[in-house]
Structure 1
Amino acid sequence: MPMPEKILIVEDEARIARWTQTYVENAGYECLVAYNGRDALYLARHEKPDLVVLDLMIPEMDGWTLCKILRQESDIPIIMVTAKTLESDIINGLKIGADDYVTKPFSPAELVARIEAALRRAKGRLQPTHTVKVGDIELDLSARLCHVNGKMITLTTSQFELLHFFLQHPNQVLSREQIIANVFGLDFDSFDRAVDIHIRRLRTRIEPDPSNPTYIQTVFGAGYRFCPDKEN
């Protein structure tokens, strides 16, 4: 019998932490709980969870800082939890490396659905030993490795899935709606600028000059196009 996936819940309010832990465990996952940022970082480094549910307003090390460190050290899926509903706060969270978000108050069913979706994206849906190469970019879908011009590039789960979708549709204009549906899933309740942020982050990894992208080009009013031959 396979081991249950391990979820790290980072929440400073004990009542909410216990409530979240109960629902996540009832969904079949193993849970770790940290009540501050420093303990969460220790658990992330030593227990190697499969996903982090991260409240941004936590003591000792705030969620923004913790998210940045986790993203620098791994591609673990991160779902940020915030009481802030301003679009700017959500955008900032996505910019520093979160894969998804929920806002308080949230239903347990919503959180579990987002956990399941994030883990599905992390696992991928492809056959082992499958490699995709388009132009200068090659993806090893079983090892989750990316090479650009022969150089290995580290990508987060979301960046890897996004790039794979582009490689499947070279020279085609893809709308933001298509990207959300095919990469993040229809349960990814987000907005156009969130897609733009994910693409901006991907460009910083694969483009020689992210400010003048050649692989992933913006088609104003329509979406984005992947150009393997780097034609402008």
Structure 2
Amino acid sequence: MKQILLIDDDIELTSLLTDYLKSEGFEVEAVHNGEQGLQKALSGNYSIVVLDIMLPGISGLDVLRRLRPQSRIPVLLLTARGEDVDRIVGLELGADDYVPKPFNTRELLARIQAILRRVQGGQTPGAIVNVGDVTLDPGARTVQRGGQKLDFTSVEFDLLRYLLENAGNVVPREELAERVLGRRFSPFDRSIDMHISKIRRKLLDESDELIKTVRGTGYIYARPVFAGSK
């Protein structure tokens, strides 16, 4: 049974969500402040963290900032509707996805299930992907460039895998959202772009030579051009 850690200071909301998510087959533990939530998240006892940004003590963003160097556990942010800056910062810090408040509980459930499916799917061994000096091992969930191991969150790993497996082809944002995030793409959703930006930085792709933006469409992972090729 999948365990959810819910970090939110709204006691009424967490009570409602706990009952709902338990009825859907999850085990849920709710905590109501950032410090306690951070310690619980680092325990390794949970499958996913649902984290509210607005918390007493340390904020949800601070929790995420301190969590990510030590753990890759998937994190779904709860954000205030219209607070685009918080969402962008959250994605920069390593959140897997976000849901703006107020939200429909079925939408929250769908986002949680999509994240968990992605993580579970990554545990299924697959063929190692090599493009240029980048090697991705789906079974071990590892990425190397030039022999150096790189660290990616679960969503970054799966986005990179999809791009590598489709190297040389333009992949629309809509396809990335549906195949990797497990949801329909919204024209106002910046999450794909923010995740790609982080992947580029980790690959030391400062000039966007590896992952190229196709304006108005999506992205393409460029195949290497070898000397003498035309």
TM-score, structure 2 normalization: 0.90
How many Å apart are 1:60 and its aligned residue?
A: 1.3
AA aligned to 1:215 is L
1:31 is paired with a residue of what secondary structure?
strand
Q: What is the alpha-carbon distance in structure 2 between the residues aligned to residue 187 and residue 18 of structure 1?
A: 29
* Residue in structure 2 matched with residue 214 of structure 1 by the alignment: 209
Query: Residues 91 and 191 of structure 2 are in contact (CA less than 8 Å); yes or no, is this contact kept in structure 1?
Result: yes
Quick check: 130-139 or 5-14, which moved more?
A: 130-139
Question: Residue 148 of structure 1 corresponds to which residue in structure 2?
Answer: 145
Provide the C-alpha distance between the structure 1 equivalents of 2:20 and 2:119, rounded to a whole number of angstroms.
21
Residue 24 of structure 1 and its aligned partner are, at CA, apart by 1.2
Greater Cα shift, 99-108 or 154-163: 99-108
Q: 1:25-44 counterparts in 2 under 5 A?
A: 25-44=22-41
User: How many angstroms apart in 1 are the aligned matches of 2:189 and 2:221?
Assistant: 18
How far did 1:10 drift?
A: 0.2
Distance 1:128 1:91 in 2: 32
Letter in 1 for 2:48: L
- Residue number among 18, 21, 28 corresponding to 2:15 in the alignment: 18
State how many pairs are aligned. 226
Partners of 1:176 and 1:192 within 8 A in 2: no
Residue 53 (structure 2) aligned to one of 52, 56, 76: 56
Aligned residue number for residue 83 of structure 1: 80
Q: Structure 1 length as normaliser, TM-score?
A: 0.89
Shift of 1:198: 0.8
**Secondary structure in 2 matching 1:130:** coil
> 188-197 vs 43-52, which deviates more?
188-197
- Structure 1 residues 167 and 47, CA, compared in 2 at 3 Å: closer, same or farther? closer
**Which runs of structure 2 are paired with 1:65-84 in the superposition (5 Å)?**
65-84=62-81
Offset at residue 53 of structure 1 (A): 0.4
For the aligned residue pairs, the C-alpha RMSD in angstroms reads 2.0
SS in 2 for 1:203: helix
The answer for the alignment partner of 1:137 in structure 2 is 134
Match of residue 109 from structure 2: 112
Deviation of 1:25 (Å) = 1.3
Question: Which ranges of structure 2 fall in alignment gaps of 5 or more residues?
Answer: none
Q: Which amino acid aligns with 2:3?
A: K
Moved more, 124-133 or 41-50: 124-133
Structure 1: which 5+ residue stretches go unaligned? none
Deviation at 1:19, TM superposition (A): 0.9
Alpha-carbon distance change, 104 to 190 in structure 1, aligned in 2, over 3 angstroms: farther
